[in-house]
């Protein structure tokens, strides 16, 4: 595999800044591994699983208010 160019890293960094927000989540020791294993068992990355969990919770909360 060839090394990643400095230009590519700069482009990726700028793209990420322009298109995504970062959120830091703290969990008790061991919980990260539990989340990772669950996500993998569902065929998802941890990031995809967490985003899905957030979206589903928001939707459920909105429906409960109706």
Confidence grade of residue 3 (pLDDT, cut at 50, 70, 90): confident
**How many whole angstroms separate alpha carbon 20 and alpha carbon 35?**
22
Question: Predicted confidence band at 1 (pLDDT cuts at 50, 70, 90)?
Answer: low
What ranges do the domains of the chain cover? Answer: 6-65
The pTM of the whole model exceeds 0.85: no
Quick: pLDDT tens for 25-58. Answer: 999 999 999 999 999 999 999 999 999 999 999 9
In tens, the pLDDT along 8-21 reads: 999 999 999 999 99
């Amino acid at each position: 595999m060839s090394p990643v160019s400095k230009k590519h890293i700069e482009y990726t960094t700028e793209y990420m800044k322009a298109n995504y927000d970062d959120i830091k989540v703290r969990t008790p020791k061991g919980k990260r591994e539990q989340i990772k294993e669950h996500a993998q068992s569902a065929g998802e990355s941890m990031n995809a699983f967490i985003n899905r969990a957030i979206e589903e919770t928001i939707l459920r909360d909105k429906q409960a208010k109706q």
